């Protein structure tokens, strides 16, 4: 059962952040939201949220969640001159960061929180805005076990599951490893889909078979409409995927772990960035694979669901 006695502050109301905060509101949690562009926080008001005029207005919250884009953004909203932890006096008891940032940046923020007596939990997520809206996110968290136990019900209210990965920055490594796998799987899916199409099989037929086989997954079903109908509305861009490959391969070097498949995929992700199509979904890896195979893809205009229970895309 969700602990609705905890007052929550929420920093970052982009598509992901707003969907996640909305899940807490639906669970009956009191949420006060802040976003650099105020209108994005105000969009949560009809769902029951309050809106903070400044980050500092969240200092009296029991728990403050952050969901921002970059390590620089995270440091600014927490440690900047007008950040959550910038002045003495009342401070939140717990900060939970759900952003995808480097292990080093997370450790720096954790140390600053601990110095001020604020508990810090790293809790990145698997999924995108659409998945978040349907309650399908998976969360992983690391930090003091007692802190995790205290906010676990909030994490489970946000998504379908929460996993505790131990002390320190283990959750960051889990998320980075996850995104490496995301890229490798997508590239592999692009290769076999193009192979089938060049051999005369429609993408819809091939992916229908794959999705109903033991090799099908939530992810392959979710990407099927994009692959079949070539709808590259962005859920995760090549630029963001390249960032995660940089983080993942840096971690592999530091830990002396060879990652030949990930390294090769990183070059293909870089090629997708180099193509200039950086505002589209990273599923454009399919187009690049097709071009390398001497074929031009066309939408099959098929009525296919994404497996999330939300109908055809």
Q: Which residues contact 211 (CB under 8 A, 6 or more apart)?
A: 220, 221, 224, 307
Q: Kindly report, as residue ranges, where domains of CATH 1.10.1040.10 are found in the chain.
A: 173-292
Q: Is the pLDDT of residue 170 over 80?
A: yes
Q: Is the pLDDT of residue 95 over 70?
A: yes
Query: Which fold, 173-292?
Result: 1.10.1040
What does the alpha-carbon distance between residue 135 and residue 138 come to, in Å, rounded to a whole number?
A: 9
What does the alpha-carbon distance between residue 153 and residue 24 come to, in Å, rounded to a whole number?
A: 10
**Which pTM value belongs to this model?**
0.89
**What is residue 172's predicted lDDT score, i.e. its pLDDT?**
95
Select the CATH number that applies to the domain covering 7-168 from these four: 3.40.50.300, 3.40.50.150, 3.40.50.720, 3.90.1010.10: 3.40.50.720
Q: Is the pLDDT of residue 310 over 60?
A: no
Q: Kindly report, as residue ranges, where domains of CATH 3.40.50.720 are found in the chain.
A: 7-168
Confidence of residue 89 (pLDDT cuts 50, 70, 90): confident
**What is residue 84's predicted lDDT score, i.e. its pLDDT?**
96
Q: Is the pLDDT of residue 311 over 60?
A: no
Cβ atoms within 10 Å, residue 230: 18
Tens digit of each residue's pLDDT (9 = 90 or more) over 234-263: 989 999 999 999 999 999 999 999 999 999
Tens digit of each residue's pLDDT (9 = 90 or more) over 129-151: 888 998 999 999 999 999 999 99
Q: Which residues contact 172 (CB under 8 A, 6 or more apart)?
A: 101, 102, 103, 106, 122, 124, 142
3-state secondary structure of 239: helix
User: Do residues 59 and 82 lie in contact, with contact meaning Cβ atoms separated by under 8 Å?
Assistant: no
Q: What is the mean pLDDT of the chain?
A: 94
């Amino acid at each position: 059962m969700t602990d609705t006695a905890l007052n929550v502050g929420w920093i970052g109301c982009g598509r992901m952040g707003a969907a996640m905060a909305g899940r807490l509101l639906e669970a009956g949690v009191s949420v006060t939201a802040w976003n650099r562009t105020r209108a994005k926080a105000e969009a949560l008001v009809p769902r029951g949220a309050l809106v903070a005029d400044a980050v500092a207005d969240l200092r009296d919250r029991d728990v403050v969640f952050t969901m921002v884009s970059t390590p620089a953004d995270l440091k600014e909203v927490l440690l900047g001159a007008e950040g959550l932890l910038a002045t003495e006096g009342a401070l939140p008891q717990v900060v939970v960061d759900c952003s995808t940032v480097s292990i080093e940046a997370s450790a720096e923020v954790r140390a600053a929180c601990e110095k001020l007596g604020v508990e810090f939990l790293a809790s990145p997520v698997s999924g995108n805005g659409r998945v978040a809206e349907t309650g399908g996110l998976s969360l992983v968290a690391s930090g003091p076990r007692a802190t995790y136990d205290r906010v676990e019900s909030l994490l489970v209210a946000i998504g379908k599951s929460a996993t505790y990965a131990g002390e320190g920055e283990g959750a960051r490594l889990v998320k980075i490893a996850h995104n490496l796998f995301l890229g490798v799987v997508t590239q592999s899916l692009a290769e076999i889909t193009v192979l089938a199409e060049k051999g005369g099989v429609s993408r819809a037929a091939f992916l229908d078979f794959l999705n109903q086989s033991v090799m099908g997954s939530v992810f392959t079903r979710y990407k099927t409409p994009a692959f079949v109908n070539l709808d590259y509305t962005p859920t995760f861009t090549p630029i963001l995927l390249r960032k995660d490959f940089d983080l993942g391969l840096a971690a592999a070097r530091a830990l002396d772990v060879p990652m030949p498949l990930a390294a090769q995929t990183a070059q293909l992700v870089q090629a997708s960035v180099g193509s200039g199509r950086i505002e589209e979904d990273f599923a454009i890896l399919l187009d690049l694979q097709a071009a390398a195979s001497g074929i031009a893809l066309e939408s099959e205009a098929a009525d296919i669901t994404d497996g999330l229970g939300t109908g055809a895309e």
